Structure formats: structure tokens, C-alpha cells
Amino acid sequence: MTAIKHALQRDIFTPNDERLLSIVNVCKAGKKKKNCFLCATVTTERPVQVKMVKVKKSDKGDFYKRQIAWALRDLAVVDAKDAIKENPEFDLHFEKIYKWVASSTAEKNAFISCIWKLNQRYLRKKIDFVNVSSQLLEELPKVTEESVPSGENQSVTGGDEEVVDVYQELNAREEQDIEIMMEGCECAISNAEAFAERLSRELQVLDGANIQSIMASEKQVNILMKLLDEALKEVDQIELKLSSYEEMLQSVKEQMDQISESNHLIHLSNTNNVKLLSEIEFLVNHMDLAKGHIKALQEGDLASSRGIEACTNAADALLQCMNVALRPGHDMLLAVRQQQQRFSDLREQFARRLASHLNNVFVQQGHDQSSTLAQHSVELALPNHHPFHRDLLRYAKLMEWLKSTDYGKYEGLTKNYMDYLSRLYEREIKDFFEVAKIKMTGTTKESKKFGLHGSSGKLTGSTSSLNKLSVQSSGNRRSQSSSLLDMGNMSASDLDVADRTKFDKIFEQVLSELEPLCLAEQDFISKFFKLQQHQSMPGTMTEAEDLDGGTLSRQHNAGVPPPVSSEKDMIRQMMIKIFRCIEPELNNLIALGDKIDSFNSLYMLVKMSHHVWTAQNVDPASFLSTTLGNVLVTVKRNFDKCISNQIRQMEEVKISKKSKVGILPFVAEFEEFAGLAESIFKNAERRGDLDKAYTKLIRGVFVNVEKVANESQKTPRDVVMMENFHHIFATLSRLKISCLEAEKKEAKQKYTDHLQSYVIYSLGQPLEKLNHFFEGVEARVAQGIREEEVSYQLAFNKQELRKVIKEYPGKEVKKGLDNLYKKVDKHLCEEENLLQVVWHSMQDEFIRQYKHFEGLIARCYPGSGVTMEFTIQDILDYCSSIAQSH
């Protein structure tokens, strides 16, 4: 802004003998913002003229030009819009109202102040200032040097600045005095020099009078000086008295300082004694272990309940003493260090004694539990470990103490417990599974058939012999299917429902025994070893090292407790090592059940799925849930293998060329499988697996029924298709399997289509020549010959028609139907009992053909009087008589 003022002063106002006092950058309110400058100026010549000039930048260049000017005396009102809030808008009321918006409120206020100042100095007419702050009008801003251009214009504006800043109007009294003075001197106006000399002489007279007055007051000055001297003497006396008083007070001050220092030392001593007593009491209260606790740690009985409780209390007290938070400097005290060393020795001594005792307890309990195995060798039940757990849980708090104080010994006890218990559980579980295998296979002879050997009343399982056996279930079923085809036996398995129910109960009992055993052991491990099994912490679990050796976790070093996030994983790893034989034994048992009967996989899939679902609801990451989940995968594979084997058996079926086909073995097997599966999977969790198997099986049945029908030589294809699809439709209708509704409708449609096809094919033989004759008639009509003109054809005239009809009298028709009945009876099997259904359909089809023939005779041979040798009633009588005779 300073540069702009300088430029405007130099280029616009100096050439016009004007001086720029204030400037504001504005634009018109409410329109497009075209900036211009409002300038307040005064002339350098007298009389002074005050103007307000609008200056605008030229459109053709960077120079400014004067646009319009107003005389300040024409300004009526200055409206600042708001006296309180800052507002850049203001109005100037000349002959019309000009509305402006300043670039800033500060510029607006400075400009309005300058207008007020000029109004006060140069105008008799006062301008109205509206909505202007009173503070703004009271403070007359100084005209700074910024408003004075430098250089050649300095001399021009200097005079005006002096007029603006120094000149003041005379007040009324001054004007009156000057008039009186001028009246007393006649030459005041005509001769200014004479008037000035007179005034000078009068001034000299006044100065002389003032000097005489001063000299007359010298006596009073001397009197005043005497009084001052007396006052100074009095001050000296007072100072002497004050000095004496100060000397006396100095001795008192020294004594008081000594007393104050003595009191401070006494207070400091008392404070130190109190602090020392507090520290001693803190150390005594927190680092003093009772003699009873020391004796319990050194000699306490770890076998009795009372001794265990005393040792637990002593261990807790020792831990509190060792974990006390010492204050700064305590660790430098010899007594504190000695006490800490004593505590460390007590902890080490008791930790060794506790670890040794618990190791002995583990060994002793293992031997005691082994002695009871003989009692369970013939029963399908696992020994109860509750007494063992109950006795060990008394040491749970001591194990927690050992875990927090000496993790190395705690980890050693954990390993020893896993070693002892894994061997014990391995013996118990293997014997338990051997008993289960014997009960599944039945007698000893049957056991040997499946690779098991009994000796002196106690079973020693030969797992290796089981592994050497190949899976024979599918082969057994194929051989059974072949023999069934040869022998005409329609049963799909030589094992009755009782055997399968027995297997189901044994398998359920095995899982029911294992589940509480694992849960009880896992709960005991969590409580005894103080591991949090139900708290899921964020982060990745650490992988355990080899179960036969090494540490439980790679995440922590020996002697350092693991973080809480890995404790759940530690429980799982301990369970894996303790029960490492469960999964292989379950897999062997499943393999045995599958060898006995492949349909056992259905029972195992349902039971195992239920137990896995139950275990996952309790804890999805537990050992039991993981192990049963792994075994469930094996069971599902066996189930899928069972389905695949059945489909393969369908594809490998060979039919006998000498006997009729009847119901195919795999159709009967599907019926057996579906009935068994529906009873097993009722309300089961894995119904979806069965539905998928159904879809695969029924597709295989459909495809292979058609394949066998195409290969059949003894039995017509339509009969094979009709009987088997009727059987399938009946099975699906009875079982009401929702996922096979589409296949049920398809089976019904195939059965109906092939029944109709067989009936039409068979009825073409009893009236063979008549059929051929009318087929020829229909062919001529189809070629375009009118029906009433067919009789004029040489091969199809009335004489030929009568000749053909005479060949089929009622006796011959009955004979042909009787032969047809016998032939149909030979084609159909007895199991499906479709003879009467087929015969009734043939009767209906024969009557339909009869009516068709009569219609052709009436249309093609009108008025000939030719009729069949038998009637519809004769056909009904013939069919009824033939059916009754057979």
C-alpha cells in the first residue's frame, strides 16, 4: 500500500499541487469486483481545499488516472454499517449514496478517521458519522511520514504538514486580549513595526519586575536554609541511636541463629530415625520368614494332607518374601543380601525335594494302576484314573509355585509325567482295543479269520496281521453277487442285522469310553500343571518339537515360563504324547470293522461325526476334537470307498445266459443299503454325505440296469428294464428319500414306458397276419389313397380281408393268447409279481387294437358286411379263463 500511495502522490496529486493524506482500496458493493482507490487530499496552496478523489487503474496500461472528485464539504453522511463487529462495507452520502466495500476493515477505519480529522480542522459544517465506533472518533491518528512523499515533493508538503499539525485556532479570550491590545495602540494596524517595538518595551519592563521580586525573597530563603541545618542535626542524632540499637540486636540475632540451627539438627535427627525405623520395619515385616515355614520347607511331610498344606503355606510365604519390591539402596545392605541368599537356598532345596517326591508318586501310581489292568482285560471298559488324579491334585498349588519359581524343574516333572503316563495309557488302551476287536469278531475262530489270535484267555492283538490283510469287503461283495446271480439268492449280504447292531454298540462303547478318559486327563493336566485350557489368546501358537524328546515348546528357554498364549498349545502337545496310541488304534479298529462288513462304515461315520461334533462344541482345538476329526477323515474315506466299490460291483456284474435275469443283485443291494442307511442316518449330523452317496449310487444303478438289459439274451430288454425300475420305484416310494424325488419319478417313467413297449411288442404275435394286413391298409392311406378306395386295391380288397379274418377264428385267438401268457410267464420273475399287471395291460392293449381294426374295416370297407370272427366280450372271456387256468 505504501508503494501505491507514493506512486499516486508522484503521478497524480503532486502535479496538481495536492497532498495525499489517506487511501483505501475499494470496490462497489453488489457488482462485479472492479477495484479502485478512494483518496483523501488537501491542496498545498491557501485557502486549503479538501477533496475526495476516485482513482482507477487504466485499462490500457499499468498507470493510474483520476476518475472523479468530490469536495469534502458536499459529504453529508459517513455510514460504517456496524460500530461493534468488523465489517468492510461503508456508505458515503454525497448528492447520492455511494456504497463501497473496502479490502480490509483496518483500511476502512483509517480512512474514516482521516475524514473525521479533516472535518474537524477545515469544515465548519459537521459531517454525520453513523455506526462508527466512538473510540475511533476520539483517537486522532497521527499523519505519519508514509503520507509525505520523499524527494522533490518534500518541500512542497512541508508547509502544509506544519499547518495541519501546529496551527490551532484562537479561543475567545485570546481574541479579546488581542483586540484590547490593538485598541490601545493606534499604529497596531497601520505600522506593525512600531507596534512590535512597543510590545518589546513592555516585555522588558515585565522582566525587570520579575527580577526585583526574586531578590526580595532572599531573606525567606536564608530562614529556610537554617531550618534545613537543624533538621540535619536531628537526623544525625537519630542515626546514632539506631546504630546502638542495631549492635544490641546483632548479638540477639547470633543467639537466635544458633538456637535455630540446633533445632534444625534435632529435627533432622528425628526424621532420620523415623525413616530408619520405617525401613527396618519394612524389611523385618516383608523379609522375615517364620521358623515354622522354614521347618516345613526343609522337613515337611509331602505325603500327608496336613504336611502338604503346611508346605504350600510355607512356599507361598517364601515366594512373597522373595518377590518383595525392595526400595532403592536395600540391595546394598549385607543383611538383605544374606537373607535373599538364604531364601534362594531354601527355594532350591524345597524345589529339589518336591520334584523328587512327585517323580516317585508318578512311578508308584503307574505301578499301582498297572496292577489293575488284569481286572479290565476281559471287559470292554477302561480303568478309572480318578483316584490317581485326586491324590495328585493335592499338589496343584505346589506345582503352581514350582512353575513360577523354578521352571526348569517344573518342565522336568512335566516330561516325566508324560513318559510314565504315556506307557501306562498305551498298555491300557491297547488291551481295551483288543477286547473290542474280539467282541466285534465273535469267537476265537472268527477272530483268526480276521487276523486276531487269542492265548490263555487273554487276547494279544496282532495289529501287524491286520495291516497285512488287504481290504476284502468289496471283493467279498463281488463274490457274493456272482454267487447270488448263479444261485438265484436275492440277499445282498450273509450278515444279519443283529451283527451290524452288535458292531454299532461296540463302536459306540469304545468312543464313549475314550471320550471321558481324554476329557478327564485334559482337565487334570490343566488343573495340576496350572495351564489355561479355555483362554484363547491372540497370536500364533508355537509348534511343539518331537514328542519323544526335546522341549515342549520352541518359544521359551528352559527356566522361563511360557506366555499364556502357548499354554493351551502345551496342553494339546502333552495330550498328544500321553495318548499317542489312540489314533492308530482307532484306525486299526475302523479297518477291522470295514473288513468285517463294508456297510459298517455307515455306522462308524454317524457315530464318529456325532462325537466330533460334541467335542468341537466343547473345545474345537482340543486333543480329543483334533484326534476324532483325523479319524473321521479315515471313516469318511472308507465310506466313500464303500460307495465306489458298490458302483464298481454294478459295472462288473455278469448275467447268466441260461436263466432269466429278474431283479439284478445291485438293485437289491441298493435297496438293502438305502434301508440300512435311512435307519442309521436318521437325525444324523452328516446327512449331506449320505445324500451325495445316494446320488452316485442311483446313477450307477440306472446306467448299469440299462447296460445289463442291453446285454440280456434270455430275457427281453423291456422286461429287465420294467422289472428293475419297478423295484427301484417301489423302494424309493417306501423309503421316501427326499433327495431322490427326481430319480423316483424317472424310475416310474422308465417302468411305464418299458411296460407299454413290452405289451405292444408281445401283442404283435397272436394276430400276426391280421396286423400285417392292416399295417398295409394304413400305409396306403398314408400315401394319399382315400379310405373308401382302399378296397379297390388288389392286395387289400374285400376277398383278401375275408381270407385273413377267416384265419383267426375265436378258437385260434384263444390259443394264441394262451401261448402269449405262457411266454410272458417265462419272461417275468416271481419276486416282482408283475404277471397280472402285464397281462391286464395286454388285455387292454388287445381290445384297443380290436377297436382300431373294426374302425378301419368300417371306414375302408363300408357296407361290405365283413366283421371279426370274435367280439370284445370273447376277448375278455379268453383272458379271464387263461389267467384262472394258470
Q: Looking at the predicted structure, is the pLDDT value of residue 455 above 70?
A: no
What is the DSSP track for 326-372?
PPTTGGG-HHHHHHHHHHHHHHHHHHHHHHHHHHHHHHHHHHHHHTT
Report d(CA 595, CA 472) in Å as an integer: 6
- Span 128-176, pLDDT tens digits: 889 888 877 765 444 333 333 333 333 333 334 433 444 456 677 777 7
| Confidence label for 311 from pLDDT (cuts 50, 70 and 90) | very high
What pLDDT shows up at residue 270?
Answer: 93
pLDDT score, position 711:
82
Statement: residue 184 has pLDDT above 80:
no
**DSSP element (H, E) containing 818:** helix 810-827
Q: How confident is the model at residue 78 (pLDDT cuts 50, 70, 90)?
A: very high
Domain 1-136 has CATH 1.10.1740.10: no
| 3 state DSSP class of 51 | strand
pLDDT level of residue 453 (50, 70, 90 thresholds): very low
pLDDT tens-digit map of 534-570 = 544 333 333 333 333 333 333 334 445 555 457 788 8
Sheet holding 18-28, edge to edge: 64-71, 50-57, 36-43, 18-28, 97-102, 89-93, 77-79, 128-130
Break the chain into its structural domains and give their ranges: 1-136, 200-287, 370-443+496-532+565-635, 653-765, 784-885
Q: What is the CA radius of gyration of the chain?
A: 64
Label residue 572 by pLDDT band (50, 70, 90).
Answer: confident
Give alpha helix (H) positions in 442-533.
444-449, 463-468, 473-487, 497-528
Structure confidence at residue 32 as a pLDDT band (50, 70, 90): low
pLDDT tens sequence across 189-248? 667 777 778 888 888 888 888 777 776 677 777 788 888 888 988 998 998 889 888 888
Contact criterion met (CB below 8 Å) for 312 and 300: no
Confidence band of 585 (pLDDT split at 50, 70, 90): very high
Are the C-beta atoms of 635 and 604 separated by less than 8 Å?
yes
Mean pLDDT of the chain: 79
886 pLDDT band, cuts 50/70/90, is: low
Q: In the chain, what percentage of residues exceed pLDDT 90? A: 11
What pLDDT is attached to residue 149? 39
The model's pLDDT over 497-543, given as tens digits with 9 standing for 90+, comes to 777 888 888 888 898 888 889 989 989 988 898 887 554 433 333 33
Q: How far apart, in Å, are the Cα atoms of 644 and each of 482, 614, 640?
A: 18, 29, 6
Distance from the first to the final alpha carbon of the chain = 133
pLDDT tens-digit readout, 236-290: 899 888 988 888 888 888 888 889 889 999 999 999 999 889 888 888 887 888 8
How far is C-alpha 25 from the geometric centre of its chain's CA atoms? 63
Are 438 and 591 in contact, with CB atoms under 8 Å apart? no
- The CA distance from 790 to 781, in Å, is 8
Tell me the H-state helices in 371-406: 373-376, 386-392, 396-405
Which class in CATH covers the domain with range 370-443+496-532+565-635? mainly alpha
- Quick check: pTM over 0.95? no
Task: Give the containing element (helix H, strand E) for 660.
Answer: none
DSSP per residue, 842-858: HHHHHHHHHHHHHHHHH
